A = this chain, B = another copy of it.
Amino acid sequence: MDSNNVVIGVDFGTDSVRTAIVSAADGAEISTAVFNYPRWKDGKYCDAGRNQFRQHPLDYLEGLEYTVRQAVLDAPPGTADKIAGLSIDTTGSTPVAVDRQGTPLALLPEFRENPNAMFILWKDHAAVREAEEINALARSWGGVDYTRYEGGIYSSEWFWAKLLHVLREDPSVAKAAYSWVEHCDWIPAVITGQTDPLTMKRSRCAAGHKAMWHEDFGGLPSEEFLRKLDPHLTGLRARLFEKTFTSDVSVGTLSSEWAHRLGLHAGVKVGVGAFDAHMGAVGGEITPYVLIKIMGTSTCDMLVAPPNDLGNRLVKGICGQVDGSIIPGMIGLEAGQSAFGDVFAWFRDVLMWPIEHIVSQSPLLDTNAREKIVEEVTESLIAELSREAANVPIDESGILALDWMNGRRTPDANQLLKGAVTGLTLGSDAPGIFRALVESTAFGAKKIVERFRSEGVKIEGVIALGGVAKKSSFIMQVVADVLDVPIKVPRSEQTCALGAAMFAAVVAGLYSSVDDAKTSMGSGIETEYRPDPQRAAKYRALYDRYTRLGEYVENEVLRIRRQE
């Protein structure tokens, strides 16, 4: 391989897009750029109380253009000419309604401000009822249970539930929607100029994990099933896709328009997209039976296993097992927690209320000081709480929380579930509650590890990626103590973008396999958190309480649902 070759990985996260230009030889970072989605940052098109989270396609396109151009500018002169490939990852399931040309409806003038014409972000779960209907029908309709490769429970965070919800809610969008496209499919299609929804190269990762696509079914669920689910879906299957592609496959080269917009040459090969977590797992150097946890606002927990090991075994209650979704040729298994960093951010926001509603109005401060105070506290609060919480002893009869503030993704998806804080006394303070919230997210992580094991999938180690893994040694130590396994954190600050770059190198033909790219381009381990035996023992007792609290909350939700 020409050691001068460079590749680009683009990582569309929840709040921002990050682009990394890296050496294809050793993965060394040449330059990076980040762009915060401006409309999203302003809270546009979202309604947290209704669990509605939408993103405008322009946030993505502006971010792509800005970060690639900026990264090229920050790289040594001549770098642009050496770029061989570009691959992208995105959040998901994050689908959007498109017209016959594959244009997201929100890019048409008449839908410009309509949230239903925008990307439905992964964490939007307005579609709770639709998911329940899909689950009920899959079990009762007499045909194949299409949820079988997605853990047996379809989630409101996924493709069909989301699009059905929008089709029902918004007749104008229903009328104009020719097809539906995942964010990770749309970006490569746009920049290669191949947006026809009927021929667009669709990601195996997205389709297999979120759209009930499987080779055994001959692709997506049958027309009959979809029509039974809702007449709104009649005929849609034929306007979606039959084939899917792993991310070692090229979509094509940059269109001349986009080569120009990005400041790159038109020979750059563009790979099939995938979800951020899956490419991040590759960037974090996933190997068989090592659980990769991407710990950000939520978590995505991934494992790869050789197809021969798993046989026909299905792992119950996880988010899916898909051939080639992470590494081509391996079964990719995905699980995850619906909220992780979001739980801590939620508590921060609750605690910010007096500052935002009283301090920031106080005549004791001038306007400038008011804004700065809000900024200062927002930025430092979680770190300050962590510092204090680290000194709170583990108390087996103390505060116990449940981390289901955003429902539960795995094991056994249920978006109706809610969070709780119990064991409160008049002496309970903010750091004590914060510690219990951290412990609850660690217990949620343990539930996933235990499910894999009880389903016969061994777990030999844990690698942690993502913002929380890099930033909070307090939180990571609690997770290591609760899981009672060592947790390794890779050196790379951008494992998702690095993973995308690894795929770009394969797509560009610089490596013959993803494994080869991973071996050469991986960044190695930076930190290892080792569990403390005494704390681990205490947490085993607390974990039983967590389990019982979860059972109580789940029974309550069932009961309320039956009464409605």
Contact = CB atoms under 8 A, between A and B. Distances in A.
Interface of A: 48-51, 339, 342, 346, 349-355, 357-359, 362, 364-365, 369, 372-373, 376-377, 380-381, 384-385, 388, 396-397, 402, 405-406, 418-431, 433, 541, 545, 548-549, 552-553, 556, 560, 563-564
Given A354-B377, A364-B376, A373-B362, A342 B545 contact: no
A424 B418 contact: yes
A169 B48 CA distance: 52
A117 to B, nearest CB: 23
B369 A365 contact: yes
A405 B428 contact: yes
A508 B101 CA distance: 96
Contacts of A423: 418, 420
Given A420-B423, A545-B556, A359 B373 contact: yes
A364 B354 contact: no
Contacts of A351: 350-351, 353-354, 430
B357 A384 contact: yes
B428 A350 contact: yes
A457 B359 CA distance: 49
A353 B545 CA distance: 28
Contacts of A425: 51, 405-406, 418-419
Given A426-B342, A545-B560, A380 B358 contact: yes
A351 B342 CA distance: 18
Given A424-B419, A429-B353, A376 B405 contact: no
B418 A421 contact: no
A373 B377 contact: no
Nearest to A388: B357
A358 B376 contact: yes
Contacts of A48: 426-427
A402 to B, nearest CB: 8
A350 B429 contact: yes
A402 B419 CA distance: 14
Contacts of A372: 364
A469 to B, nearest CB: 21
A425 B541 CA distance: 26
Contacts of A355: 354-355, 359
Nearest to A416: B397
A533 to B, nearest CB: 20
A414 to B, nearest CB: 13
A339 B556 contact: no
A381 B362 CA distance: 13
A549 B40 CA distance: 38
A433 B431 CA distance: 18
A564 B395 CA distance: 13
A343 to B, nearest CB: 8
Contacts of A420: 420-424
Contacts of A552: 549, 552
Nearest to A406: B426
A16 to B, nearest CB: 19
A359 B552 CA distance: 39
A358 to B, nearest CB: 5
Given A51-B427, A339-B426, 10 more contacts: A346-B424, A354-B354, A354-B377, A358-B380, A418-B422, A419-B422, A419-B424, A420-B421, A420-B422, A421-B421
B352 A354 contact: yes
Contacts of A545: 556, 560
A428 B541 CA distance: 29
Contacts of A549: 552, 556
Nearest to A424: B419
Contacts of A405: 424-426, 428
Contacts of A433: 350
Nearest to A557: B397
24 contacts: A51-B425, A350-B351, A350-B428, A351-B351, A351-B353, A353-B430, A353-B431, A354-B377, A354-B381, A354-B430, A357-B388, A358-B384, A359-B377, A364-B365, A364-B373, A365-B373, A402-B422, A405-B426, A418-B424, A420-B423, A421-B424, A422-B556, A545-B560, A548-B556
A353 B419 CA distance: 22
A381 B433 CA distance: 20
Contacts of A427: 48-51
Given A397-B560, A426-B405, A381 B358 contact: yes
Contacts of A556: 422, 545, 548-549
Contacts of A563: 541
Nearest to A433: B350
A359 B358 contact: no
B369 A364 contact: yes
Nearest to A339: B426
Chain A to chain B: the 7 pairs with minimum beta-carbon distance, closest first = A353-B430, A419-B424, A420-B422, A49-B427, A48-B427, A552-B552, A418-B423
